[in-house]
Structure 1
Amino acid sequence: MSGSEKDEKAPSTWDKYGVKIVLAICVVLLCIGLIVVIVFETQRPGPEPKPWQKFRLPDTLIPVHYDVEVRGDLSTFALTGRVDISVRCATPTKYVILHSSEQEIDRSSPPTVQGSGDTPSVTSWFLYPENEFLVLELSESLREGAVYTVTINFRGTIRTVLNGFYRSSYVNEQGQRRYLGITDFQPQDARKAYPCFDEPSFKATFTVTVVHQQEYTALSNMPLESSESRGGGWVADRFQKMIRMPTYLLAFGICDFDSINATTSTGIATGIWARPEYIAAGMGDFALDVANRVVVYFEDYFGVPFPLPKIDHIALPDFNSGAMENWGLITYRETRLLYDTNSPSATVRKATARIIAHELAHMWFGNLVTMAWWDGTWLNEGFASYIQYKGLDFVDPAMNVMEHFAYDRSQAVMVDDALTSSNPVYRPVNTAEDVTQIFGSIIYSKGASILRMLENFIGEDTFKKALKNYLSKNAYGNAVQDQLWAELTTAAREDGQTDLDVKAVMDTWTIQMGYPVVTMTRDYTRGTAEVTQRHFLVDSASVVTVTSELGYRWYIPLTYLTQANLANTPVLTWMAPNEGTKTITLQGAAASQFVLANINHAGFYRVNYDPTNWQLLANHLNSDTFQDIPADNRGTLVDDAFNLARAGMLDLTTAMSMTQYLVKDRHFIPWSMALRATGYIETVVGSVPEISNLWQPYMRQLITPFYEEVGWTLLPGDYNTEVGQVMAISTACEYGNSGCVNNATMMFDQWINTNNNSHIPERLESTVYCTAIQHGGSREWDFAWQQYLTAEASEQTLLLPALGCTQDTDTLNTYMERSKDDSLIRRQNAPLVVRYVGRNSVGKSLAWNFLRDNWDFYFENYDGTSFTMTGVVEDVTRQFSTQEDLDQLETFLAAHPNQGTATQAFSQAVEGTRANIRWRRDNEAELRTWLTQAQG
């Protein structure tokens, strides 16, 4: 460096980095500040939502009484009305909030609120469709304790969709189309007919006036009080004041029906209403007799008189469900209420009597005492589904209906409840979709089953006493299940069961999904058995993601009998949730004799045994004394074995060995239960030729002796004899017995040639129709279709599934396409068509493709009815058992995130498909080997 250059000083650390340090500190402080703000904001409560933005109604106003007037025009289907609602103010409020949906509020005569003193005025009002609310804003708050009258004028239509106030029609004997208007409000559709507080706890009294054209008759919950002319051919019928009830039980209708009537021994007027020609033909006579007798029986059974002066039962051409328990005006689908005594059928007779008993049981459970909210719906439906059997047993004790219970109720729902996508009978309900989805097999069939189990361990007299106390204390009000458990505990302790806590026991069955399998492992030397319990899942590979505070453990009333003591009263021993393994001493069990548990399938659980006991049971079933085991237990043994094998808890060969004895059994209950259990194989691998070609002959050889014994000549006798014959013939035809198929096709051919089917017994029509169409061609199908178009409703009920039996895929597609046209197939029946096609072994992919392509049609028309959508999804996806099936299902769900009331059904379809894939992987080869050896 030369001497002329400047000598500079080296920079310090601060000079180099000071500014950067300051900036970094500022950034850090800024970040900390932002974090503090974010945390503060997220923890600080947000703005309180407006009361109409909440799903539930506020409890500020309590309805006391409704004056409802509706004017229904069956020419134009216009609906106009006015409702005056007396409300008591529980908490001061500036809003009147109630439900209103699909109505036009009259702007020329807007809503008003009137009181006994200075009354705030309605400053504005609006509809809030998200929660189906009508909101009235007031100039000032209503006064606590004061009573006001809310008046609303509204307009709408008599709907085509089968809920709210809707229309139906039929063609009379003169060829004229006649219309009627009827209501169906459960669970959330009263709001579609008139503005109201549409929740079950908002009970009130009602006075109803129906204005109609004078050629029609009006009906409602109560008897007619007065009738006046409104001029121009219009009549206003005012009905007596109705006692306190929720809105969903209100009912009214306009029709030109006739009725038959009788009075019970306790003074209740009973009426059966239907088309005039059906009443004239005597098709309501059986229902009238049953209804008249059952209501008196229930008055005595519950110890609480029926509080209304009359009960009408009306048969409707179009109705979404089977029936609805409107207090004093019970509505039914025609085919569920009417019974043609000129074409007697034990199956139809039982179904008619059972549904009447079910709806009448609701008059106490559901109507007199109502659940506080929809999460307790099982209290209504479970009880009605159980108590109906007591009513049915009273009507026809020779039927021995409690022997049917396991097949009717427990067996099918146990398959659904063995999935991780199941739900408890008591579950939270927080959205409109939750309300609709809760109506399913769990609350009906599982609810009924656990109540039967409860009565079985607590005793019939104690059970009845507790029910009477529960109904008396809560009459005209609302209740929750804990109130029922308290009454049952009190009654049990009064009757000597001092250590029984019903709530502790029943909570394990109601607030957690699923059920246990009890494994009984015997020590044949000591005469004891170790029993354990675990949550039974039909797919052992599935993972339960919904936790249970009870740990999926149960209080189990385990009953058993030893072979030497089958005629004795069952031994009862309790298994507690906290008992991992329990050792019990088997009373009178020799090492060479079997032990049978869960006697009469009274408990809602499955039983697994050690291999030796399974073999002892199989040996006894194959002996001449197999009928020592009760009929329902014979069926349960097959059902448990096959489901345990599905879950990988029992070897499939053991399950198959339990079916071999059926070649000797002539009772329809074990046969029916066995067919449902083994039907899983038919469903999953029935389309696999190498399995089907072995399975069909195996089942055919089991049923043929039964079929040949009963023959086609109608057997006189009791219900069980008649149904057994029908079951034997239908099963023989289904599995290709040549004599059965030939006889059925000849009968159908005679019908075609003579245009007269009087030679086909009514009880065998469904078998003849399906068999002939399955083995026939276009001639048979086209004839049946033409018959369907002009047939009465009862005959259509038989033809509808039969038309889905054809093996021609083009015809099946045509059939499903036609089902969307309600001029050909009633709207209520359209979903059934795709279900029947889905059950057909050749219709699996057709039905699935049709459902996918027409999803909008089904969603728009049937999403409000959980039974409909659930049934469609179940039947269309039941046969899914390949990875391709699963991929298609998951692709569809990804493209349709809102499945509405079918949400749970789709979840179960995915889980079921995965289980079917696993089952095929693990069992196909073993099944093929067993069937080959069995027929060798």
Structure 2
Amino acid sequence: MKATFSRLPVALRPINYVLKLKPHIKTFQFTGSESIEVEVCKSTTSVVLNSVNLDLKEATIKVEDHDIIKACNIVPSEELETVTIHFPRDIPRGKGYLNIEYIGEIGEQMKGWYRAKYTISEGEERYACSTMFEPSDARRCFPCWDEPAHKATFDITLIVPKDRTAISNMPIASEKNIEGSPELREVVFERTPIMSTYLVAFFVGELDHIRDTTEMGRLIRVFTPKGLQEHGKFALNAAVKSLTFFEKYFDVPYPLPKVDLVPVPDFQSGAMENWGMVTFREDCMLVDPENSSTSRKQWIAIIVAHELAHQWFGNLVTMEWWTHLWLNEGYASFSEYLCVDSVFPEYEIWTQFVTDTTFGAFSLDSMKNSHPIEVPVNSPSEVDEIFDEISYNKGASVIRMLHSYIGDDDFRKGMKLYLERHIYKNTFTEDLWEALGEACGKPVRDVMSTWTSQVGFPVITIHATEDGDSLRLKLHQQRFLLDGTIDAKPTWMVPIDAISSQCVQKPCLSVMLSKKEDEYVVEKGKNLGWFKLNPGQIGFYIVKYPDELLLKFQPAIKDKSLPPIDRLGLVHDLFLLIQAGQTTAVDLLKLLPSFIDEDAYVVWNCISGILGKLNLLLDYTDSQSLFQKYVRNLMAKIWADVGWDPKPEESHTQTLLRAIILRKLGLYGDQTVIEEAKRRFELHVSGKEKIAADIRATVFSIVVSAGGRDTFNALLKLYDEASTTEEKNRIGNSFGKSKDPAILRDVIDFAESDRVRKQDSVRIFCSVAVSKVGREIAWQYYKDNHLELVKKHPGVFHIGELIQSVTCNFATIEQAEEVENFLTVNNEHGVDMKVKQAVESIKLNSNLLRRDADKIHEFLLANVKV
């Protein structure tokens, strides 16, 4: 019978951990010794802690003046991830020390304390030892109360080889040589503040570092692989600016003496906010001045800001349990944009927030198999399933909406109140609403509970009638679902603003729609042109306009009097309505020529994503080649403007725009672009002239798509020779663009080989599934090898992503049934939600094609010259 999970007993409460660890890097084991200062709140004969794959050799406890009690039995539970230490008599109440000696394993699964392989300049392979404890893997390194509410302080000591760098949350307090072991030294770190176990971190390896201080005198160090200090300069600059921003914005001092940024050769996510020692995947932190792209630098700035926001929101104040995870991730995902907008204003980052964050949340939250922001979590094993677009992106989007609703000044006051009131403590979502409500005097709790506790979001339908100089509006809200079904139950409190052609800079309507339907009057004056809800796309809802209002937007799109963020909002909302069957794809194809003179990166980024989705689906029809010609015609003018090479003094976003347009044209068959891509690739391979970093990934993809075995082999050679993770990724991610089935099979074999790091393997594997042919190959490989794949890539982050990416763009009911049946029989624990979402996506794709495929084909035949 399966054991039932429950939170740890509270008979004992940890106060401080004294932890001494000695890694044996050659054998991938470590010895551990810990003395936990505890408060015994209730007399008991046993102590239950979290522990996984740790061999406890002995344990004793001593409470104040009482005798030492030695454990009589130590019973691990693999299923519950606990160890129960039994004592022969009652442990008396009071303060005492629980002492444990144990042995553990330095694993290879990128969780707990694990090993990460790297190669030194002489070609020798070596291993670093790093940690990844979130959400519940500190228990793989030391027996502990591994729940976020069990906060304590930590005294950490590492015994390491003399030639290795040792880093932890706090600065080094002392170092000394080990008698009898001349090759070792003992590194003692200062005591941490009160913190949760998942934020403890340490690293042992070979690194260099550079340093700087903030305006407030906070030390920031950026570590890099040996000899690559230059690659840490961008992250150091971003970190100094970001920490300074947050300290001023929150008006709460950063409480630690330093922040370290540490790149780890093998890392399962982008970064981890360990307090005072933030760890990163290498390509999410290191910038090669000659070979890193503009988009990569922007991404690194965002990630650094995200992790440093956590130093307050998540670390200083922590959610009480994983149910409130979104407090950590949603807020940090919003704050990263606040920060980057301030310190890198040239990025125009808020316009990108909508396409990169809000729209991703819409895609998932419009499915039946979504979940509320705040999800009851019964056990830590469920946590990974909610590390998704909802926790991060919807969380960030509704906080952005709240920020606009209460205003920046009151938002900052509320945040300061929240942080100071709960400093070093744990909180619930309601604590945040209470602080923000006190600061602004508005019903924050009432408004926000409708967004955090309910799944989905509303579509606001407008019915408008003109009445003299007034416009009478009837607004109706209803949950939006991509399958077109009606869910009449949920109602949101929706802050609604509107602008018009006569009132662009400030709202002409500002109301709270709290009912299913309400009516409003707007003074429109004479000759009203367009009228738009949700200016700036700040509200987490979409809008359905009547045809007569929708038509009025076309002149404003063409002359760009409608702001860029609102132009892209119209296109995005229309496409969601198309997917739900509330209008047809032909309406979109008719509207897009209005954007022929468009020059805004964010608008083209949105349009490009929509066109990409349609192209994936039309691969299952006879219309794809006609559609690609339509896209080439649509982008001809903007391509003439941006060209291959950067112009003097061009903006950050113009640089990003070039890669988007070039990629679409090259992959959609523009022969002029393809031939130039081949020419530049040949120069690059020969060493005569490097492809510019900003278009290098795009060129690689184009030449793989248009080339054959020789091109693939040339790129494989470049992959093996590449010295940075960023370069390997841009090469590896291009492989799936091949149209040759034999090459696509080789790509999967390559992805699963030892030539590719585990952290990168799934991404390269999934790149094969971008075409109909590749999808079938990838799915067949998964079916034939699923047991080995699950073993190699355990957990939602890896096998869940692989399953969803490989299958979600199938487009027939038969494929949906096949995927569902196979994955039901061969069920992998923890990926149920991913499987349901993938099957739902396939059915939605099938429905769209069933409704619109013939109409699209007819439109293309009539409007695209062959």
TM-score interval, normalised by the smaller of the two chains: over 0.9
Counterparts of 1:648 and 1:670 in 2: how far apart (Å)? Answer: 23
Whether the aligned pair in 2 keeps the contact of 1:631 and 1:670 (CA below 8 Å) is: yes
Counterparts of 1:595 and 1:442 in 2: how far apart (Å)? Answer: 30
Aligned counterpart for 1:917 among listed residues 843, 846, 849:
846
Whether the aligned pair in 2 keeps the contact of 1:123 and 1:138 (CA below 8 Å) is: yes
Q: How does 1:206-355 map to 2 (within 5 A)?
A: 206-230=154-178, 231-232=180-181, 233-279=183-229, 282-343=230-291, 345-355=293-303
Counterparts of 2:472 and 2:4 in 1: how far apart (Å)? Answer: 62
Q: How does 1:546-557 map to 2 (within 5 A)?
A: 551-557=489-495
Matching of residue 712 in structure 1 with residue 638 in structure 2: no
Superposed displacement of residue 138, structure 1: 2.3
Superposed displacement of residue 590, structure 1: 4.9
Counterparts of 1:540 and 1:591 in 2: how far apart (Å)? Answer: 36
Whether the aligned pair in 2 keeps the contact of 1:517 and 1:534 (CA below 8 Å) is: yes
Moved over 6 A (4+): none
Aligned counterpart for 2:837 among listed residues 878, 903, 908:
908
Match of 1:812 in 2: 744
User: Aligned Cα RMSD in Å?
Assistant: 1.8
Match of 2:453 in 1: 511
The one-letter code matched in structure 1 to 2:206 is D
Counterparts of 1:453 and 1:656 in 2: how far apart (Å)? Answer: 31
> More deviation in 853-862 or 291-300?
853-862
Counterparts of 2:550 and 2:527 in 1: how far apart (Å)? Answer: 13
Counterparts of 2:7 and 2:350 in 1: how far apart (Å)? Answer: 40
Matching of residue 671 in structure 1 with residue 604 in structure 2: yes
Whether the aligned pair in 2 keeps the contact of 1:642 and 1:678 (CA below 8 Å) is: no
Match of 1:124 in 2: 73
Match of 2:518 in 1: 582
Aligned counterpart for 2:760 among listed residues 824, 829, 841:
829
Gaps of 5+ in 1: 1-48, 494-499, 545-549
SS in structure 1 at match of 2:90: coil
Cα distance, 1:332–1:446 mapped onto 2, change above 3 Å: same
Cα distance, 1:681–1:760 mapped onto 2, change above 3 Å: same
Whether the aligned pair in 1 keeps the contact of 2:436 and 2:444 (CA below 8 Å) is: yes
Matching of residue 763 in structure 1 with residue 694 in structure 2: yes
Q: Deviations over 1:399-442 (max 9, x none)?
A: 22111110110112201110111001101101333122121111
Match of 1:739 in 2: 672
SS in structure 2 at match of 1:604: coil
Identity of aligned residues (%): 29
Matching of residue 798 in structure 1 with residue 748 in structure 2: no
Superposed displacement of residue 274, structure 1: 1.4
Matching of residue 896 in structure 1 with residue 845 in structure 2: no
Aligned counterpart for 2:797 among listed residues 847, 859, 867:
867
Counterparts of 2:251 and 2:56 in 1: how far apart (Å)? Answer: 45
Higher Cα Rg: structure 1 or 2?
A: 1
Counterparts of 2:670 and 2:733 in 1: how far apart (Å)? Answer: 21
Cα distance, 1:265–1:891 mapped onto 2, change above 3 Å: same
The one-letter code matched in structure 2 to 1:700 is R
Match of 1:62 in 2: 13
Superposed displacement of residue 651, structure 1: 3.6
What TM-score comes out, normalization by structure 2 length? 0.97
Match of 2:91 in 1: 142
The one-letter code matched in structure 2 to 1:539 is D
Superposed displacement of residue 569, structure 1: 4.1
Superposed displacement of residue 914, structure 1: 1.5
Match of 1:41 in 2: none
SS in structure 2 at match of 1:628: coil
Superposed displacement of residue 851, structure 1: 1.9
Superposed displacement of residue 757, structure 1: 6.5
Whether the aligned pair in 2 keeps the contact of 1:819 and 1:830 (CA below 8 Å) is: yes
Superposed displacement of residue 395, structure 1: 1.8
Counterparts of 1:817 and 1:726 in 2: how far apart (Å)? Answer: 29
Counterparts of 1:386 and 1:513 in 2: how far apart (Å)? Answer: 20
What TM-score comes out, normalization by structure 1 length? 0.89
Counterparts of 2:544 and 2:798 in 1: how far apart (Å)? Answer: 35
Q: Deviations over 1:493-536 (max 9, x none)?
A: 1xxxxxx3111111110011110000011113451111000000
SS in structure 2 at match of 1:111: strand
Superposed displacement of residue 591, structure 1: 6.4
Counterparts of 1:238 and 1:663 in 2: how far apart (Å)? Answer: 63
Whether the aligned pair in 1 keeps the contact of 2:605 and 2:657 (CA below 8 Å) is: no
The one-letter code matched in structure 2 to 1:523 is T
Aligned counterpart for 1:722 among listed residues 655, 658, 674:
655
The one-letter code matched in structure 1 to 2:195 is M
Whether the aligned pair in 2 keeps the contact of 1:173 and 1:277 (CA below 8 Å) is: no
SS in structure 2 at match of 1:807: coil
Superposed displacement of residue 479, structure 1: 0.4
Cα distance, 1:876–1:391 mapped onto 2, change above 3 Å: same
Whether the aligned pair in 2 keeps the contact of 1:208 and 1:238 (CA below 8 Å) is: yes
Match of 2:482 in 1: 538
SS in structure 2 at match of 1:139: strand
SS in structure 2 at match of 1:521: strand
Whether the aligned pair in 2 keeps the contact of 1:218 and 1:252 (CA below 8 Å) is: yes
What is the count of residue pairs matched by the alignment? 858
Q: Deviations over 1:541-570 (max 9, x none)?
A: 4x87xxxxx931100011111111113346
The one-letter code matched in structure 2 to 1:802 is S
Cα distance, 1:848–1:316 mapped onto 2, change above 3 Å: same
SS in structure 2 at match of 1:390: helix
Superposed displacement of residue 130, structure 1: 1.2
Match of 1:36 in 2: none
Whether the aligned pair in 2 keeps the contact of 1:881 and 1:916 (CA below 8 Å) is: yes
Counterparts of 1:124 and 1:813 in 2: how far apart (Å)? Answer: 53
Cα distance, 1:879–1:53 mapped onto 2, change above 3 Å: closer
Counterparts of 2:677 and 2:291 in 1: how far apart (Å)? Answer: 18
Q: Deviations over 1:451-491 (max 9, x none)?
A: 00000111010101000000011010100110000111111
SS in structure 1 at match of 2:552: helix
The one-letter code matched in structure 1 to 2:604 is W
Q: Deviations over 1:735-794 (max 9, x none)?
A: 222211111011112233x2x264310111011111111101100001101211121222
Whether the aligned pair in 2 keeps the contact of 1:560 and 1:595 (CA below 8 Å) is: yes
Counterparts of 2:838 and 2:549 in 1: how far apart (Å)? Answer: 35
Whether the aligned pair in 1 keeps the contact of 2:56 and 2:74 (CA below 8 Å) is: no
SS in structure 1 at match of 2:193: strand
Counterparts of 1:603 and 1:583 in 2: how far apart (Å)? Answer: 19
Superposed displacement of residue 820, structure 1: 1.9
Superposed displacement of residue 53, structure 1: 5.5
Superposed displacement of residue 893, structure 1: 2.2
Superposed displacement of residue 911, structure 1: 1.3
The one-letter code matched in structure 2 to 1:560 is A
SS in structure 2 at match of 1:565: coil
Q: Deviations over 1:570-589 (max 9, x none)?
A: 6321100xx23211112326
Whether the aligned pair in 2 keeps the contact of 1:565 and 1:588 (CA below 8 Å) is: no
Q: How does 1:469-618 map to 2 (within 5 A)?
A: 469-493=417-441, 500-525=442-467, 527-541=471-485, 551-569=489-507, 571-576=509-514, 579-588=515-524, 590=526, 593-618=529-554
Match of 2:101 in 1: 153
Superposed displacement of residue 718, structure 1: 1.9
Aligned counterpart for 1:73 among listed residues 10, 21, 24:
24
Match of 2:148 in 1: 200
